[in-house]
């Protein structure tokens, strides 16, 4: 990663395996060589019943073709009996407005992952399983996502108990429309090997990795992660991604999220586009990546204001370049995604 006189340069490190398309037969997996176009995100650090879908509507008004999958979040941050009830209410409201919308749901279980693994939240999780089952749309459930964050990792033993526990609970509730998704913070910072938290091939439907900082495209660990997922025969989704060019004026140095490794100051439109070019090139090179979610949101309004504004329309000229990249025939958009899932 370097700057020359004109623009940021990002090297995409993973080798080109575009000539090796794959079809692992996972739930809701697109055909070989295809990639789901997804949007994020609703419910950042909150529950969807408190979050409107204004930014999704803005994205849809800015970008053609339309995304086929929407990303949101649920939080188990204590052990009260109805901890996930608000999520179920909110997600029902969302689907009432947007019928047949497949969902990516990040299930956040910090700081109670050990008690969740022990069954303390089973009643709430069972209600959640029934709620998602009854929506009758595909759901990718990112169980304990970003488990290997360097500043807040899950206990490895607890996580390897937690993941199968939740998978088996959802199976008992016959939530067969929910794909168990193992989501690592694989691509952006100095993290431990995510496979230290591997719960076992038989429990994982999809793998996933979140990619933010430009260094994520250049680290050899990203290649190693993708190669291992291919060996395990798991399709990979990117459920969280956007350019992380920090506004250092808004960074609190006392917060552990305020990394400097691999991050750049906010750049111009060409720097922004260099990040998107790298992302689209990564997806082109690696056919095991079967879904791409770009977070198009104004982070300045939330808990992490230093991440800046990643709404596509906020950057003059970005929407045209981004839309042109999405017009590549490998991407599956709303109508084609619906047709695919109706036959599953």
Grade residue 45 by pLDDT with cuts at 50, 70 and 90: very low
**DSSP codes joined into one string, 99-133:** TT--EEEEEE-TT-HHHHHTTTTHHHHHHHHHHHH
Strand partners, 9: 2
What is the percent of the chain with per-residue pLDDT over 70, rounded to a whole number? 86
Say what the pLDDT of residue 174 is: 98
**DSSP codes joined into one string, 284-300:** HH-TTEEEEEEE-SBGG
Q: Are the C-beta atoms of residues 285 and 232 closer than 8 Å to each other?
A: no
What does the pLDDT look like over 111-165, one tens digit per residue?
A: 999 999 999 999 999 999 999 999 999 999 999 999 988 777 899 999 999 999 9
CA distance 20 to 109: 36
What does the pLDDT look like over 171-193, one tens digit per residue?
A: 999 999 999 999 998 755 556 78
Domain coordinates in residue numbering, the chain: 2-342
Residue 344 above 90 pLDDT? no
Superfamily of domain 2-342: Glycosidases (3.20.20.80)
Q: Single out the residue of 173, 100, 172 nearest to residue 135, CA to CA.
A: 100
């Amino acid at each position: 990663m370097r700057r020359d006189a004109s623009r940021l340069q990002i090297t995409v490190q993973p080798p080109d395996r575009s000539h090796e398309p794959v079809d692992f037969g996972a739930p809701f997996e697109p055909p070989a060589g295809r990639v789901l176009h997804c949007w994020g995100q609703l419910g950042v650090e909150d529950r969807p019943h408190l979050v409107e879908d204004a930014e999704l509507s803005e994205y849809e008004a800015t970008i053609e073709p339309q995304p086929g999958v929407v990303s949101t979040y649920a939080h188990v941050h204590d052990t009260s009996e109805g901890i996930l009830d608000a999520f179920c209410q909110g997600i029902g409201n969302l689907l009432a407005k947007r019928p047949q919308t497949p969902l990516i749901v990040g299930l956040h279980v910090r700081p109670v992952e050990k008690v969740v693994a022990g069954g303390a939240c089973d009643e709430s999780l069972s209600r959640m399983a029934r709620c998602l089952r009854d929506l009758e749309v595909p759901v990718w459930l990112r169980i304990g996502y970003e488990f290997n964050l360097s500043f807040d990792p899950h206990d490895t033993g607890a996580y390897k108990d937690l993941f199968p526990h939740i998978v088996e609970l959802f199976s008992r509730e016959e939530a067969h429309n929910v794909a168990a998704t193992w989501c690592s913070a694989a691509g952006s910072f100095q993290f431990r090997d995510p496979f230290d938290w591997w719960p076992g091939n038989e429990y994982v439907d999809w793998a996933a990795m979140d990619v933010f900082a430009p260094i994520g495209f250049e680290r050899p660990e990203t290649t190693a992660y993708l190669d291992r997922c291919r060996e395990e025969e798991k399709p990979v989704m990117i459920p969280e991604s956007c350019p992380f060019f920090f506004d250092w004026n808004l960074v609190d140095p006392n917060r552990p999220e305020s990394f400097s490794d691999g991050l750049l100051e906010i750049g111009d439109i060409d720097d922004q586009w260099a990040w998107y070019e790298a992302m689209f090139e990564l997806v082109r090179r690696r056919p095991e990546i079967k879904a791409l979610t770009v977070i198009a949101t104004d982070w300045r309004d939330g808990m992490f204001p230093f991440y800046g504004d990643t709404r596509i329309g906020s950057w003059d000229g970005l929407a045209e370049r981004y839309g042109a990249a999405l017009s590549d025939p490998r991407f599956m958009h709303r109508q084609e995604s619906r047709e695919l899932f109706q036959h599953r």
